[in-house]
Structure formats: C-alpha cells, structure tokens
Amino acid sequence: MTKAKTPAGTAKHLQLTCAPSQTTAQVLSRAALQPCINGASVIEAFQGNIMGKEVDLGELVAGLSESCTGVKGGDLSILESMLVGQATALQTIFASLARRAATQENLRQYETFMGLALKAQSQSRATISALVDLKYPRQATFVRQANIAHGPQQVNNGAAARDDLKQSARERKKGKPPSEQNKLLKAQRG
C-alpha cells in the first residue's frame, strides 16, 4: 500500500493506492490502523489555528512517517526536541495563568486560574522528567535477595540452604575445611 501525493485543492483528503488483489474496504481498514495516518489526521484537525487550514494531509503523513523511521533507527532527537518544546510551552502557560490569577479579586476565579496554572506546572515537570529519562535511562539493578527488617529476623532460604548449613556444621565438627561454595560466599560478602 503506497500513499500518493494529494493534488492542490484537496489537502483534506489522503489518496491511497489499492493493489489489484485488495478491496477498497481492506485498504481503508489497513490505513485506519496506520499510526502515522492517525497521528497526521489528529494533527491536521488541531493545528488549524497555528498553520492555517491549507496544510496538506498527505505531506503530514509523509513528515510523520520520516520522524517515525528516524525513531525506529535510534534517532531520538525529534522526541527530545518535542519534549523541550512542550515543557517550555507548558511553563509559559503556567506563568500566564499564574499572572492572571494574581489579578483576580473574586476567590472562585482566583482558584480556577491558579488550579489551571498548577496543572500546567505539573505537566511541565512531568515532561521534563520524561526528557531526562529519555536522555539518561535508568540502569536496571538485579538483586538476588535483600532481607531487610526492623528488629529480630529469621530467614529460611529453602531446603537447599538448610542442607548446606547442616553440611557445614558437620564438616566443622570433623575438622574439615569448609566447602568451595562456602569459601565463595565468604569471599563475596567480605
């Protein structure tokens, strides 16, 4: 399935090419599941007051497809730029709403503006946190076992652990050196 460029004057429509073995319903169903087509249609619906109504849906799909291809290839710079832009926009919304709240004399209006300002600030913080996680992913820590208690604690780590302890006690009574496994455990724990 390939997407052809839309001619001038039909920017609101996306032209899809149908293979001879496909029905129109199949082509439309597959197109409806394409993330780039869905994303571009939402962008087209909401961006009218930013770029105007003459934005070409086919070009939006092509641009979004390029971005998706870059991200699949490991280039996250578009996402980083997007998050920085969103965080800055949310910070601006916060500042504007907080200033408007400060000029209100009616408590209800003050609370409304301040509540919206704090929501924008919270979203800005979450966006910045997402950017940091994207740039500097957290390292996974694999812990075999951690026994933490406040006060007396007894840990029974299964039958195998008890058998090892019994074996070590018998070996110590007979004057034998501890087994290799116990030496390794002592070396690991200090």
Q: Are 11 and 63 in the same domain?
A: yes
Asked, for residue 131, whether it belongs to a domain, the answer is yes
Q: Are 87 and 43 in the same domain?
A: no
Q: How far is CA 56 from the centre of its chain?
A: 29
Q: Are 57 and 81 in the same domain?
A: no
Q: Are 61 and 11 in the same domain?
A: yes
Pairwise pLDDT comparison (2 vs 176), residue with the higher score: 176
Residue-level pLDDT at 10 = 46
- In the numeric block, which tokens belong to residue 76? 């996250």
Residue-level pLDDT at 17 = 85
Q: Which residue(s) pair with 161 in the sheet? A: none
Is residue 24 within 8 A of residue 18, CB to CB? The reply is: yes
Calpha distance 190→188 (Å, rounded): 6
pLDDT tens sequence across 46-82 = 887 788 888 888 899 999 999 999 999 999 999 999 9
135, 153, 176: which is the final residue of a domain? 135
- In the numeric block, which tokens belong to residue 37? 């087509």
- In the numeric block, which tokens belong to residue 69? 């291809």
Asked, for residue 140, whether it belongs to a domain, the answer is no
102, 118, 135: which is the final residue of a domain? 135
Domain around 82: 77-135
135, 166, 181: which is the final residue of a domain? 135
Mean pLDDT calculated for residue range 23-34: 89
Asked, for residue 141, whether it belongs to a domain, the answer is no
Residue-level pLDDT at 146 = 63
Residue-level pLDDT at 95 = 95
CA-nearest of 102, 131, 5, 107 to 57 is 5
Q: Are 9 and 66 in the same domain?
A: yes
- In the numeric block, which tokens belong to residue 67? 């971005």
pLDDT tens sequence across 5-24 = 544 554 677 888 888 898 98
Q: Are 47 and 104 in the same domain?
A: no
For the chain, the domain total comes to: 2
Asked, for residue 189, whether it belongs to a domain, the answer is no
107 pLDDT higher than 50: yes
165 pLDDT higher than 80: no
